[in-house]
Amino acid sequence: MVFDRRLTTRTPEDQLLQVAAHEAKHFLIDNDLKPVIAVFLICGFIFFVSQMLVRLVRRKVGDQGAVVQLALTVYAFGTVAFLLAQPVVTTWHRNLEIEADRFGLEFNRDNQALIDIMWTDAKQNPMAYRYTPITKFLRATHPQIKDRIKLAETYRPWLDGGPLKYGAYVSD
Q: Which residues make up the interface to Zn ion (CB under 5 A)?
A: 97, 100
**Which lies closer to Zn ion via its Cβ, residue 97 or residue 147?**
97
HSE-CB for 14 with a 13 A CA cutoff: 10
**Which lies closer to Zn ion via its Cβ, residue 82 or residue 92?**
92
Query: Least distance to Zn ion from the beta carbon of 154, Å?
Result: 20
The vertex-88 CA angle with 87 and 89, nearest 5°, equals 95
Query: Least distance to Zn ion from the beta carbon of 28, Å?
Result: 12
Q: Assign residue 62 a region (left: φ > 0; alpha: ψ between -120 and 50; beta: otherwise).
A: left
The CA distances from residue 86 to 22, 81, 141, in Å, are: 24, 9, 10
**Which lies closer to Zn ion via its Cβ, residue 71 or residue 96?**
96
Query: Least distance to Zn ion from the beta carbon of 27, Å?
Result: 10
**Is the CB of residue 96 less than 8 Å from the CB of residue 26?**
yes
**Is the CB of residue 21 less than 8 Å from the CB of residue 108?**
yes
Query: Least distance to Zn ion from the beta carbon of 60, Å?
Result: 51
**Which lies closer to Zn ion via its Cβ, residue 111 or residue 148?**
148
